[in-house]
C-alpha cells in the first residue's frame, strides 16, 4: 500500500497473516485470500451468532501471482459485482495470452504496447507470458517498475524486466512493453513509432466496446470474478443474504432472488476496473 | 462461418484502411467464389433475409434466455450481436461450425427452414465469435468500419482492375456477385447489367480558387454554371417509371413523389434538387424538411415544393452517352428537356456567359449576396462523364468563406491517428452572459497547431464527462464557414455549414468577440 499510495496513506499499519484471528471485544476478524492480486484479502467478521464475509475484489481462477481464492462459509455475503452480468464469461487467460504472442510473431516489425493496470494486472500479464514460454526482455513503463520489483522481492518470477528508456526506443521492434492503460491515450505513447496497442481487461469481452477503446488487440484478461464465478461463490459459501456492491448490482440481485436468496444493493464508494 | 467470423473480428479491431484492404484480400484468396460473393454482399449491407426480423430473433432469444437478464445485458452493451453471442451458453459440440456462410445464407433464405430451430441449433453449437458473426449476418448493420467504397477499392486491388469499371456496374449487380468475382479472377467476361434499374456513379468536382489558381487551367476550354445549394440527384426513367438517387446511390424516390418523368426509353439525368416554387430556390434548410420523410403529407408537399435543376445527361433514348463530351451531352440535354418543359418540377441550369476571367470574377463576386448559390462550377467542355473526382475536369469555385470568432468549450479525442489528441471541438459564443454552443469543428488546423490545442485542453480542463473534457472558456478561434442558417437543433438557434478552424487567436481576449445578437445582425439578412 505504501508503494502504491505513499508512506502516509494510513495513520497506522498492522500486519496480519491469512487465517490469523483478531479479537476486538466479542468480535473476531480474520482475513482470507481473495485471489485478486498479491496480498488481497476477503474479510470475515464474526461473533457467536453471525458471520459476515466481505469479498472485496476477487477471482477464483488460478493465478501465479497471488494466493488462491479461499472459499469461506458465511451467513451474509458482501460481494463485488464488477462483472455482474451474464454476458461476462472470461476466457482461459493461458489461451488469451497466446493471442499476444501470435501477434508479436505476425507483426514482428512493431513494438507491442500492452495496457494493464499497474498494480497486479501488469505483473500477471508478465507471469502469463513467462508461463507460455516467452523469455525475452519485457519492457515496462515507469509506473509499473516499483510494484513489479516488489512482486519479485516476494518470490514471483517475472524474468528479465527493464524500464523503457529513451535509448531503447529504436530497438523495440517485436518487443513487448507493459504500460498502464492511461498511457495508451497519453502523450507518452507518441514517442514510439508504428506501435501495436493491446489492452488487457475484462471489458474487452464486448466487441463494440473494445472497438471504441481503439486498441489493435484487445485481451480479455481480468482480475475480477466473472458471472459464473460470482454466482457459484454465492451458492458455495451457503449464504442466506447477499449484499451487492461495486458494479452492476441489478442482474445479480435479480439472480439471487430467483434462487431464493435475499439480496440488496449496497452503495459504496470506489473505482471501477480500468 | 469460422472464416467469415475471423474476417469480421480482424476488421472490427483494425483502424487502418490499408490494413483492412489486406485483410479482406487475404479472405478472398482463401474463399471459394460463393463464399467470397456472400461475404462482399454482407459487408456492403446488400444481404437481406426477408424471413428474419429483429423481432423474430428477439422472440427466439426470449424463449431460451431469462428476459430480465437479457434486457439488463443488452441495455449495458447496446449491441444485439454482442449481447446474444456472449449471454448464450454453448450446449453442444462443434457440429455446425463447418457450415460456410453459403450454407447459412441458403438456409436463412429457404421457406422450408424452421427458423427457430435453425437459429437455436446454430447458437448452441458454435463459439462466441462465430455466434457474433452469425447474428451480425442475420440482422445486418455490421459496424465493423468498412464502407462500400472501401470494398470497391479492395476489389479493384484484388482483381488488378480499374475501380471505375467496378463502379460502373456495381449498382446493377446483385449478391452473390458471381459474374463480378469471375471477372476479377480472370475467369469470366466483364459483367453486363440492366442500365435502367441502376444508379450510375456520379462525376464529382474538385475545389479551385481561380483568384490563386487561374494559371492552372486555360479558362477558354471551360464553361461555367452556378453552383446551387441543394442536393445532387440522379433521375433514372424508363417505361414511365422514375427513380431518384442521391450522390451515394441512396434511392430517395419515396420522399419526392411529385418528381415524375414520362419517358418510355431509358433516360438518366443529373441535376440539383432544390426547394422552391416557380423555379425560385429557397434555403437549404427548407429542403431539409423534405429529406428522410418516407411518405410526405399533402400539407408538406404543398408548403415545401421542390424541383430539379438539370445540368447533365448520362443516357438518352437508351444510349449511353457518358463517353460523349460535355458540349454534346448538353445538346442532348436540351433536346430531352424540350419534351418535359411543361413539367413544373424540372428546369435547366443555364450556362453563365463570360468572355474572360474578369467578367467571370464579377459574376463570382455577385454570388456572395445569394443565399442559395454556393459559387460557380467550372466544367471542361471536352470532359467525358467519368465517375469520381478527376483533376481539372469539373471544378467548383466556392465563394470565399465567412468568419466568426468563437470560444472553445469542450474537446474530445479523435479517431485513428488522432486518437491520443484532443482534436474534436465544441465551440460557443456569448448570449447575454452565458456561452452557448454554435458549432463543432475538427479540421482546418495544422498538425503543429493540433499539438498546441491538445496541450491547451490538457492544461485547462475543468470537468470530464466520459470522453469529453470541458475547458476554461478562454481560447478564441477564428472559425470559417460557408453559410449560416436558423436551426432549432443548437442552443444558439443557428447552425453553420461546414465550420472549420481558420486561425487560433491565442492573443485575443474572449470577452472581445461578437455576441449571438450581433452575429445574427451581421450574417442573417
- Residue A4's CB: how many other CB atoms inside 10 A? 12
**A233 and A164 in one domain?**
no
Residue B525's pLDDT band, with cuts at 50, 70 and 90, is low
Residue A273 lies in a domain: no
B68 touches chain A (CB under 8 A): yes
Answer left, alpha or beta for residue B499, where phi above 0 means left and psi between -120 and 50 means alpha: beta
Instruction: Tell me the CB-side half-sphere exposure of residue A84, using CA atoms within 13 A.
Output: 24
Structural domain includes residue A177: yes
Shared-domain flag, residues A101 and A55: no
Q: Are A87 and B73 an interchain contact pair (Cβ–Cβ within 8 Å)?
A: yes
For residue A270, is it within any domain?
Answer: no
In a domain, A173, yes or no: yes
Q: Does residue B180 register a pLDDT over 70?
A: yes
Q: Are residues A70 and A158 in the same domain?
A: no
* Domain shared by A41 and A83, yes or no: yes
Count CB atoms within 10 A of the CB of residue B206.
12
Least confident range of A140-149, B100-109, B235-244, B506-515: B506-515
Are A18 and A81 within one domain?
yes
Strand partners, B505: B476
A187 touches chain B (CB under 8 A): yes
Q: Name the pLDDT band for B445 (thresholds 50, 70, 90).
A: very high
Q: What residues of chain B lie within 8 A of the CB of A210, using their CB?
A: 12-13
Query: How high is the pLDDT of residue B262?
Result: 93
- Burial annotation A144-180 (CB, 10 A radius, 16+ → b, else e): bbebbebbeeeebebeebeebeeeeeeebebbbbbbb
- Same domain for A41 and A143: no
List the B206-207 sheet strands across, edge first: B206-207, B394-398, B373-380, B222-228, B351-352
Mean pLDDT of the B214-229 span: 93
**pLDDT at residue A135 above 70?**
yes
Residue B389 bridge partners (DSSP): B204
Q: How long is chain B?
A: 525
Q: Which residue has the higher pLDDT, B375 or B388?
A: B375
From B471's Cα to the closest Cα of chain A, the distance in A is 18
Instruction: Give the pLDDT confidence of B78-129 residue by residue, as tens digits.
Output: 788 999 999 998 766 655 556 899 999 999 999 888 999 999 999 998 989 9
pLDDT at B313 over 70: yes
Looking at chain A, which residue has its C-alpha nearest residue B90? A89
Do A199 and A105 sit in the same domain of this protein? yes
**What integer pLDDT is reported at residue B95 of this predicted model?**
56
Chain mean pLDDT for chain B: 90
Q: Name which of B12, B69, B73 is nearest A211 (Cβ-Cβ).
A: B12
Let me know whether A6 and A76 are in one domain.
Answer: yes
A217 touches chain B (CB under 8 A): yes
Q: Which B residues, 415 through 434, put their C-beta within 8 Å of a C-beta on chain A?
A: 415-416, 419-420
CATH code (residue A248):
3.60.15.10
**In CATH, what number is assigned to the domain containing residue A125?**
3.40.50.10890
Q: Which residues contact B491 (CB under 8 A, 6 or more apart)?
A: B436, B437
> Is A190 inside a domain boundary?
yes
Query: What average pLDDT does range B190-212 have in this prediction?
Result: 90
Nearest residue to B266 (alpha-carbon basis) of B347, B332, B174: B332
Same domain, A160 and A99: yes
Q: Which domain range does residue A232 map to? A: 2-87+224-265
Confirm or reject contact between A209 and chain B (CB < 8 A): yes
Q: Decide if A153 is inside a domain.
A: yes
pLDDT of residue B491: 81
Considering only the beta carbons, identify the residue of A85, A187, A207 that sits closest to B76.
A85
The C-alpha cell that represents B122 in the structure block: 446454430
pLDDT, residue B106, reads 92
Determine contact: A211 vs chain B, CB below 8 A.
yes
pLDDT value, residue B239 = 93
Buried b / exposed e over B360-377, threshold 16 CB at 10 Å, is bbeebeebeeebbbbbbb
With CA atoms as reference, the chain B residue closest to A198 would be B13
Q: Do A97 and A214 belong together in one domain?
A: yes
* Each residue's pLDDT tens digit, B323-367: 999 999 999 999 999 999 889 999 999 999 999 999 999 999 888
Give how far Cα B298 sits from Cα of B168, B301, B456, Å: 37, 5, 53
List of domains in chain B: 2-139 (no CATH), 203-398 (3.30.470.30), 402-523 (2.40.50.140)
When divided into structural domains, chain A yields a total of 2
- Is it the case that residue A273 has pLDDT exceeding 60? no
B402 vs B141 pLDDT, higher one: B402
Same domain, A116 and A196: yes
Q: Does A274 reside within a domain?
A: no
A271 domain-assigned: no
Does A162 score more than 90 pLDDT? yes
Cβ contact B479:B500 at 8 Å? yes
Picking from B7, B14, B65, B72 by the largest number of A CB atoms within 10 A of its own CB, the best residue to mutate is: B72
Amino acid at each position: 500500500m505504501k508503494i502504491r499510495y505513499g508512506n502516509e496513506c494510513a495513520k497506522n499499519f498492522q500486519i496480519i497473516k491469512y487465517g490469523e484471528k483478531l479479537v476486538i471485544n466479542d468480535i473476531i476478524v480474520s482475513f482470507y485470500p481473495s485471489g485478486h492480486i498479491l496480498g488481497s484479502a476477503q474479510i470475515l467478521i464474526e461473533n457467536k451468532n453471525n458471520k459476515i464475509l466481505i469479498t472485496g475484489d476477487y477471482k477464483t481462477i488460478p493465478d501465479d501471482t497471488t494466493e488462491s481464492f479461499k472459499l469461506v462459509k458465511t451467513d451474509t455475503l458482501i460481494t463485488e459485482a464488477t462483472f455482474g452480468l451474464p454476458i461476462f464469461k472470461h476466457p482461459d487467460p493461458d489461451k488469451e495470452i497466446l493471442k499476444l504472442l501470435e501477434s508479436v510473431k505476425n507483426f514482428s516489425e512493431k513494438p507491442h504496447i500492452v495496457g494493464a493496470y499497474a498494480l497486479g494486472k501488469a505483473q500477471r500479464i508478465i507471469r502469463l507470458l513467462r508461463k507460455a514460454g516467452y523469455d525475452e526482455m519485457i519492457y515496462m513503463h515507469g509506473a509499473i517498475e516499483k510494484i513489479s520489483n516488489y512482486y519479485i522481492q516476494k518470490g514471483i518470477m517475472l524474468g528479465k524486466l527493464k524500464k523503457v528508456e529513451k535509448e531503447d526506443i529504436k530497438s523495440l521492434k517485436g518487443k513487448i512493453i507493459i504500460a498502464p492503460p492511461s498511457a495508451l491515450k497519453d502523450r507518452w505513447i507518441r514517442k514510439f513509432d508504428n506501435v501495436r496497442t493491446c489492452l488487457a481487461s475484462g471489458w474487452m469481452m464486448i466487441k463494440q466496446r473494445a472497438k471504441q477503446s481503439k486498441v489493435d488487440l484487445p485481451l480479455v484478461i481480468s482480475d475480477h470474478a466473472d458471472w459464473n464465478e460470482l454466482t457459484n461463490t454465492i451458492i458455495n459459501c451457503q449464504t442466506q443474504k447477499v449484499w451487492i456492491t461495486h458494479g452492476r448490482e441489478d442482474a445479480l440481485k435479480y439472480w439471487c432472488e430467483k434462487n431464493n436468496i435475499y439480496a440488496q444493493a449496497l452503495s459504496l464508494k470506489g473505482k471501477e476496473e480500468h | 462461418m469460422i472464416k467469415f467470423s475471423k474476417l469480421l473480428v480482424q476488421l472490427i479491431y483494425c483502424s487502418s484502411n490499408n490494413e483492412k484492404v489486406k485483410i479482406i484480400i487475404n479472405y478472398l484468396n482463401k474463399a471459394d467464389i460463393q463464399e467470397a460473393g456472400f461475404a462482399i454482399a454482407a459487408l456492403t449491407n446488400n444481404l437481406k433475409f426477408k424471413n428474419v426480423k429483429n423481432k423474430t430473433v428477439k422472440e427466439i432469444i426470449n424463449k431460451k434466455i431469462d428476459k430480465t437478464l437479457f434486457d439488463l445485458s443488452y441495455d449495458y452493451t447496446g449491441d444485439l450481436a454482442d449481447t446474444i453471442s456472449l449471454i448464450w451458453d454453448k450446449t453442444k459440440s462443434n457440429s455446425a461450425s463447418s457450415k460456410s456462410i453459403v450454407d447459412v445464407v441458403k438456409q436463412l433464405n429457404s421457406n422450408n427452414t424452421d427458423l427457430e430451430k435453425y437459429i437455436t441449433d446454430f447458437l448452441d453449437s458454435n463459439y462466441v465469435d462465430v455466434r457474433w458473426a452469425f447474428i451480425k449476418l442475420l440482422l445486418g448493420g455490421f459496424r465493423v468500419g468498412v464502407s462500400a467504397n472501401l470494398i470497391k477499392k479492395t476489389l479493384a486491388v484484388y482483381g488488378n482492375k480499374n475501380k471505375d469499371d467496378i463502379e460502373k456496374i456495381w449498382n446493377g449487380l446483385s449478391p452473390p456477385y458471381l459474374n463480378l468475382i469471375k471477372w476479377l479472377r480472370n475467369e469470366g467476361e466483364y459483367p453486363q447489367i440492366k442500365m435502367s434499374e441502376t444508379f450510375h456513379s456520379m462525376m464529382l468536382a474538385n475545389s479551385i480558387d481561380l483568384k490563386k489558381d487561374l494559371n492552372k487551367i486555360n479558362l477558354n476550354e471551360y464553361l461555367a454554371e452556378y453552383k446551387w445549394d441543394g442536393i445532387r440527384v440522379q433521375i433514372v426513367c424508363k417505361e414511365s417509371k422514375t427513380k431518384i438517387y442521391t450522390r451515394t446511390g441512396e434511392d430517395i424516390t419515396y420522399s419526392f413523389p411529385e418528381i415524375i418523368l414520362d419517358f418510355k426509353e431509358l433516360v438518366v439525368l443529373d441535376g440539383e434538387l432544390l426547394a422552391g416554387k416557380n423555379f425560385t430556390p429557397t434555403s437549404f434548410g427548407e429542403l431539409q424538411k423534405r429529406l428522410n420523410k418516407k411518405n410526405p403529407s399533402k400539407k408538406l408537399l404543398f408548403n415545401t415544393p421542390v424541383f430539379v435543376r438539370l445540368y447533365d445527361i448520362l443516357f438518352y433514348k437508351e444510349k449511353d452517352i457518358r463517353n460523349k463530351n460535355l458540349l454534346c451531352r448538353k445538346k442532348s440535354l436540351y433536346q430531352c428537356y424540350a419534351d418535359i418543359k411543361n413539367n413544373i418540377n424540372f428546369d435547366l441550369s443555364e450556362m453563365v456567359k463570360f468572355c474572360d476571367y474578369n467578367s467571370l470574377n464579377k459574376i463570382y463576386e455577385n454570388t456572395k449576396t445569394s443565399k442559395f448559390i454556393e459559387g460557380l462550377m467550372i466544367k471542361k467542355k471536352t470532359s467525358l462523364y467519368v465517375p469520381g473526382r478527376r483533376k481539372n475536369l469539373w471544378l467548383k469555385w466556392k465563394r470565399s468563406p465567412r468568419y466568426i470568432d468563437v470560444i472553445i468549450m469542450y474537446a474530445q479525442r479523435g479517431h485513428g491517428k488522432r486518437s491520443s489528441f484532443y482534436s474534436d471541438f465544441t465551440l460557443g459564443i456569448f448570449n447575454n452572459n452565458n456561452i452557448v454552443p454554435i458549432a463543432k469543428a475538427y479540421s482546418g488546423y495544422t498538425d503543429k497547431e493540433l499539438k498546441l490545442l491538445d496541450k491547451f485542453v490538457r492544461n485547462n480542463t475543468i470537468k470530464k464527462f466520459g470522453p469529453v473534457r470541458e475547458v476554461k472558456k478562454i481560447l478564441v478561434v477564428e472559425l470559417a464557414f460557408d453559410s449560416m442558417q436558423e436551426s432549432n437543433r443548437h442552443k444558439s438557434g443557428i447552425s453553420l455549414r461546414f465550420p472549420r478552424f481558420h486561425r487560433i487567436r491565442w492573443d485575443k481576449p474572449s470577452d472581445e468577440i461578437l455576441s449571438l445578437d450581433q452575429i445574427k445582425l451581421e450574417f442573417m439578412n
